[in-house]
């Protein structure tokens, strides 16, 4: 098995989860980290046994020590940062959302295609065993025709200085946690809703609490909620004409409860670790096989998710400085 050597760009909070998972993933090694702050980079490297630290993303891009780079910078910097690595011939796994809007995502997709390298949005929920088995349950017709879906991903943050509350950092509930609900709906209802209707409560020009209703040609309706100051259970439901699937936590699904006819069954399918391992395995295998996209989460799906979120933001009146670029 070819070992895939990983670099990390931006050693922030989410990068810690990725690093822990990479250490727990067969066929992947952490080879380097890059940070604008060398002190921060060295501290991160010491924590995870990473030998090489770079003080710029350009140095990491030029390194012959890495095959792929995980981009975990804040939202507004995803595109520019990922382009540095794609143009240097490095494969890229970029933290969600891939970009701030669909236009950026299309440009990044084109950049990856020009350079013949792999690119994927880091939406780890798509690769969880519980999610994939639930999709198989639906495909087998065990709960009949799918006509409804619900998903809530809502936090109650108290620190008002967080990036999530800042417009110039592409803040707001939708891009930070609502993106999970959009992907959840896509996994079970597809990528082409007939209509999208959204309402939100805004503060300081970003959405604090957003509700999205999407309808589909087959009559299905999806209800999706995201929030940053209203804590709610992160439940998900997929409703069919013959039963339903209940996720106690849909975005980090380790199990689901199948209600089919008169029977109820709990299906436990824990992930390999913190949930990122399956995603890393997918990327590594795609790179070994010479693929430039994942068949589970191709770039067309990522673009569709951002097109949906662009429409939601249009309706609720949220825009970002990068939207005009």
Catalytic positions, please? 96
Pairing of strands 119-122, 206-215: unpaired
- CA 143 – CA 324 distance, rounded (Å): 44
Quickly count helices (H) and strands (E) in the chain: 10, 14
Question: If you compute the radius of gyration of the chain from its CA atoms, what whole number of angstroms results?
Answer: 19
CA atoms within 13 A on the CB side of 152: 12
- CA 174 – CA 206 distance, rounded (Å): 9
**For residue 69, which of 117, 126, 17, 123 has the smallest C-alpha distance?**
117
**For residue 280, which of 99, 109, 128 has the smallest C-alpha distance?**
128
CB contact set of 245 (below 8 Å; sequence gap of 6+) = 134, 137, 138, 143, 237, 238, 256, 257, 258, 259
- CA 248 – CA 265 distance, rounded (Å): 14
Compute, in degrees rounded to 10, the torsion defined by CA atoms 108, 109, 115, 120.
Answer: 100
Phi–psi pair at 261, nearest 5 degrees: 60, -125
- CA 1 – CA 179 distance, rounded (Å): 34
CB contact set of 238 (below 8 Å; sequence gap of 6+) = 134, 138, 143, 146, 148, 149, 188, 244, 245
């Amino acid at each position: 098995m070819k070992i895939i050597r990983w670099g990390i760009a931006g050693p922030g909070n989410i990068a810690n989860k990725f690093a822990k998972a990479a250490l727990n993933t067969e066929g992947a090694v952490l080879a380097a980290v890059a940070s604008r702050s060398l002190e921060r980079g060295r501290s991160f490297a010491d924590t995870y046994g990473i030998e090489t630290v770079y003080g710029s993303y350009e140095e990491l891009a030029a390194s012959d020590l890495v095959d792929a780079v995980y981009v975990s910078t804040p939202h507004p910097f995803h595109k520019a940062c990922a382009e540095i690595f794609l143009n240097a011939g490095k494969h890229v796994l970029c933290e969600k959302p891939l970009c701030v809007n669909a236009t950026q995502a299309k440009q990044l997709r084109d950049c990856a295609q020009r350079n013949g390298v792999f690119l994927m949005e880091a939406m780890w929920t798509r690769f969880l065993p519980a999610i994939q088995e639930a999709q198989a349950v639906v495909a087998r017709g065990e709960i009949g025709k799918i006509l409804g879906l619900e998903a809530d991903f809502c936090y109650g943050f108290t620190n008002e200085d967080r990036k999530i509350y800042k417009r110039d950092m592409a803040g707001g509930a939708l891009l930070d946690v609502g993106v999970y609900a959009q992907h959840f709906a896509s996994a079970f209802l597809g990528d082409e809703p007939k209509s999208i209707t959204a309402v939100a409560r805004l503060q300081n020009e970003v959405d604090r609490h957003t509700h999205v209703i999407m309808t589909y040609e087959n009559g299905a309706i999806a209800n999706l909620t995201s929030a940053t100051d209203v804590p709610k259970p992160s439940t998900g439901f997929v409703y069919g004409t013959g039963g339903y699937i209940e996720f106690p936590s849909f975005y980090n699904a380790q199990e689901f409860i199948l209600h089919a006819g008169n029977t109820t069954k709990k299906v436990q399918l824990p992930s390999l670790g913190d949930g990122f391992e399956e995603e890393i395995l997918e990327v590594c295998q795609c790179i070994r096989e010479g693929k430039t996209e994942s068949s589970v989460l191709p770039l067309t799906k990522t673009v569709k998710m951002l097109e949906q979120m662009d429409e939601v933001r249009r309706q609720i009146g949220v825009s970002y400085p990068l939207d005009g670029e």
